[in-house]
């Protein structure tokens, strides 16, 4: 089972503006597999989702200038189709 853990300070401090590229968004959890994918919802393009370990991924994302500000669901899906979703607050 894939599990995601909150990193509130990181999420709140980095997701303040739209129209920006964020190359080092850390996604923490457990049971990640090499080849896992990340999804941050509409208006956020995932350029890459790099497997660092079974407990950490690094996402490179671009936030569209037209992206709606607000709560986002972050979903990680492993190659075996196990997935987990966690709401992430964007101030």
**pLDDT mean values, one per 10 residues, the chain (91 residues):** 46 54 84 94 93 92 83 88 77 43
| CA dist 21 → 3, 12, 63 (Å) | 25, 15, 6
Q: How buried is 47 (Cβ within 10 angstroms: 0-12 exposed, 13-18 middle, 19+ buried)?
A: exposed
Note the CATH architecture for domain 3-88. Sandwich (2.60)
pLDDT at 8: 43
Q: What is the pLDDT of residue 18?
A: 60
Distance CA 8, CA 88 (A): 8
Residue 3 — left, alpha, or beta (φ > 0 → left; ψ -120 to 50 → alpha)?
beta
Q: What pLDDT was estimated at residue 28?
A: 84
CB 76: neighbour CB atoms within 10 A? Answer: 24
């Amino acid at each position: 089972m894939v599990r995601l853990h909150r990193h509130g300070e990181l999420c709140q401090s980095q997701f303040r503006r739209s129209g920006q590229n964020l190359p080092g968004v850390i996604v923490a959890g457990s049971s990640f597999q090499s080849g896992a994918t990340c999804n941050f919802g509409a208006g956020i393009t995932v350029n890459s989702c790099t497997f660092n370990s079974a407990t950490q991924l690094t996402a490179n994302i671009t936030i569209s200038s037209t992206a709606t500000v607000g709560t986002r669901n972050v979903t990680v899906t492993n190659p075996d189709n196990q997935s987990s979703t966690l709401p992430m607050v964007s101030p």
